[in-house]
Amino acid sequence: MASELTKIFPVRIRERLNGTDLLAEGYTELRFRCNGPVIFLRGREEFFIHKNGGMCREEENGYVISVNEIREMMEYISNFSVYAHEEELKQGFLTIQGGHRVGICGKVVWSEGRIMTIRNISFLNIRLARENKDCSKELLPYLFEGDRLCHTLIVSPPGCGKTTLLRDMIRQISDGGAWKKQDGAIERFYGRKVGVVDERSELAACYHGVPQNDLGKRTDVLDGCPKTLGIELLLRSMSPEVIAVDELGGERDMESIRQSIHCGCTILATAHGEGKSLWFGPDGAEKKRGIPGGMFERYVFLKQGGNPGVIEAVCDRDGQEVRL
């Protein structure tokens, strides 16, 4: 098991896992709920830590974690200084070494319309960070018109891999590269300066300010910053050619995107949606989310179900599928 995960588990759970490599086993989420069985998820499959050691499928044999053990985990996660992470706690998650994100629930301390912190933490969800390098390689030719990179929006329901796909797109576009055309010729594209506003710390997965994921050699990251503020900061200070954000939604996001486009930046983004037909239909999500028609030149739709990151269609601004 990866060392950065081993060290945050309670001692009794470490003993029962006995060196199991969670990353190699393909788990995606690790759920810890006070006085309930520990559940490891692999897609929609559930696995339990057996009370006597190892893994099992039977809930009745699962190891039940106590409130004190969850508090023990929080001590390890925060390096024995929970209060030093108050700002992150307000957002409901912490990022640990390796880029893994720990979501938290407990008693919310609320004042003057703002979350001040979360106390009595009793529920944890560890989302395991996984890079899938080159998963966007086949997609890239559809996103260019000559040397020009198109404004691109990746659309899918939750859990279909849009953040993973965007992460690799950022890396490829930052580093530059090439692909083989249908006639056998090599089409090359130069590396671009990419600014990433990583509001939820899922793209770069920064730990102490250092990205744990590879976003390319020409990429700058604003970690934990709201998109609207982050885009303005990047435009003012980092002269990006491309700006990448995850999970667009709301008019304020759209106004920041418009500002970026007016400044000559190419936009890469994701949004929740159910598919091509619903998105471009008369009551489509595009209108409901306030995304003006024509703002994006490429829409990448991912298939629901099966393996994450599988592309259903790539469409232009009018909803017509792009052909090479």
List the chain domain ranges.
3-127, 140-315
pLDDT band at 3 (very low <50, low <70, confident <90, very high): low
Query: To the nearest whole percent, how much of the chain has pLDDT over 70?
Result: 95
Q: What is the mean pLDDT of the chain?
A: 89
Same fold, 3-127 and 140-315: no
Q: Is the dihedral of CA 105, 111, 114, 116 positive or negative?
A: negative
List pLDDT tens digits, range 307-324: 667 899 999 999 999 987
Whether pLDDT at 169 is above 50: yes
Show the DSSP H helices in 81-203 as ranges: 86-91, 162-175
pLDDT band at 294 (very low <50, low <70, confident <90, very high): confident
Whether pLDDT at 1 is above 50: no
In contact, 32 and 124? CB cutoff 8 Å: yes
Residue 312's nearest CA partner among 156, 174, 163, 105 is 156
Residue 25 vs residue 233, higher pLDDT: 233
What is d(CA 206, CA 221) in angstroms, rounded to the nearest whole number? 9
- Stated pTM of the model: 0.83
Query: What is the per-residue pLDDT for 286?
Result: 67
List pLDDT tens digits, range 67-122: 999 999 999 998 888 877 887 888 888 888 888 889 999 999 998 888 888 999 99
For domain 3-127, give its CATH number from 3.30.70, 3.30.530, 3.30.450, 2.60.120: 3.30.450
Whether pLDDT at 35 is above 90: yes
Average pLDDT over residues 44-55: 92
140-315 is a CATH 3.40.50.300 domain:
yes
Average pLDDT over residues 46-68: 95
Query: What is the per-residue pLDDT for 285?
Result: 65
